[in-house]
Amino acid sequence: MSREHMKWWGWGRADTAFHHDDKPALRPLLLDRLGVDIDIPAAAPPDVADLHIAPPRRPEPLTSALAAATRLSDDPVERLVHGTGKSLRELVDLRAGRLGRLPDLVVHPGDEAETAAVLRLALDHDAVVIPFGGGSNISGSLRPPDDEQRPVISIDLDRMNRVTSIDTESGLAVIEAGALGPELEEQLNAAGWTLGHFPDSFKHSTLGGWIATRSSGMQSDTYGDIAAMVLAVRVVTPHGLLETRPLPGTSTGPSVLQMILGSEGRLGVITEATVRIRPLPQRRVVLGYLYPSWEAGLRATAAITRGEARPAFVRLADAEETTFSLSLRTGGPGLAEKLLDGYVRKVRRQDPAQVCLGLVGFEGTPAAVRRDQRLVASAVKAAGGFPIGAGAGAVYDRKKFDTPYIRDFLLSRGVHADVSETGAPWSRLPGLYAEVMTAFHAGLAASGARGSVMCHLSHTDPVGACLYFTFAVVPAEDGDLHDYDVVKSAVQQAFVDGGGTLSHHHAVGTEHARWLSEDVSPAGAGLIGALFAGIDPAAQLNPGKIVP
């Protein structure tokens, strides 16, 4: 493989994992919430030698033509890596040896011309093409349909990872779609710029993947989501090269750019994008705040977002997630934590079990950061909250890309942990939060399993925000997804029933496709389906995603 991709059976690098030995508060918390003792040794990682990987379909003359056009591989492990994302369903299936349909061939084009040649060969030889970025998708967007009989080609743009130009006068950069987050930031930072897009998957996802899934980064409050950052794209399609231009505005019919955003490879292969960039901030600080309740935190968060301050991000954890976050601290509670606990109880007269942790990131000039800190402090105080300094923020900044490793840690102990996120207007958020919590516990009761759920608010906007739910289900039988499916379906249904979107930034794929018409209306789903059928009538571009 040209790039060291994530391990096939879990998240991230093979030499990186979550450990609990130095976190004494975590074991009793998980015993209480899930009835799981994490001191019991975890299941060993699966061995690829134990898997039955079906031989690839290598029809001629397609295979020879592809080999002549670009780099080509049919290595079993490379096919395995490129045939699955990182959804819980995929990881459970992989660990159980249920591989499903894998790509037959993996190609690594070095430029747009090679990409176009691969697509043309696939179309001419009745093959399927599935674009691959970093493999971090959790919505089933990378998995070929199990019943697909045609040859399947995974097209990995890992060799196309350069920032090719920077327009300092306009604040624009042209970047190849295969660039991973760290790769493009390193190149931009060297010139004094940043894109500012930092999703949880930042280390293992690409610009093209962000565009194809309408990704949103942790600092979207200031920088916007990927849809706000991308001004132009180049896409290899069945009908030739689609190219838009980086313009401040246009009134030329339905937006072609918007059609590409979120299309998950169904309209073509994104090869390049022109994006907005910003100068590196002079100062950055993340401060923590405690609120007496979730409702108080919501009031403060809404006031901050709709006020004059311009923080890089505003984040609020409910009481359950606050407790979980505190359980991840290394060592036992120190003097500072004990003093804070006493202050909450005796001085603030608040219940420590109900307090909610808020984090606010500040970026910009020193003067702008000081100004925003004063404005935020006023909103926090008005809601009954108080500041706790930079300690919690420093931990968040240091660990912000490590959370997915916890899911692997729990999965190796038989726990099905996952995330689901939605977005709604501020007026709907309190009710939607309550409805999702009710739906989760109803689903848990219906399944008969044991589990737990927690939530944080992120990706704020003057109109509304994202609610990001993390839940865990302990199935009756390890590897059986029935209990998980009951609970996950209840949560997703509550999103659309409660006025939220079925996915705020994790895309549709196959995991969320059955709710699409409820989210965008049957007419809207039909419009999307007609677009896909018009550009790709034989369904050769990532078939079955978004609209089956």
Catalytic residues: 468
Q: What is the DSSP letter of 5?
A: P
The three-state secondary structure class of 67 is helix
- Tokens 């300094």, residue? 389
For 278, the enclosing helix (H) or strand (E) is strand 278-279
Residue 172: name the closest of 258, 272, 90 by CA.
272
Helix residue spans in 349-413 (DSSP H): 366-382, 391-399, 404-411
Phi and psi (nearest 5°) for 302?
A: -65, -40
Number of H helices, E strands in the chain: 20, 18
The pair of structure tokens assigned to 129 is 């093409």
Counted residue by residue, the chain has a size of 548
Q: What is the CA radius of gyration of the chain?
A: 23
Q: What is the rounded end-to-end Cα distance, in angstroms, of the chain?
A: 31
Q: CA-CA distance, 301 to 457, in Å (whole number)?
A: 9
DSSP-based helix, strand, coil % in the chain, nearest 5: 40, 20, 40
Q: What is the DSSP string of 106-145?
A: EEE-SSHHHHHHHHHHHHHTT-EEEEESSS--SSS-SPPP
Q: CA-CA distance, 424 to 132, in Å (whole number)?
A: 30
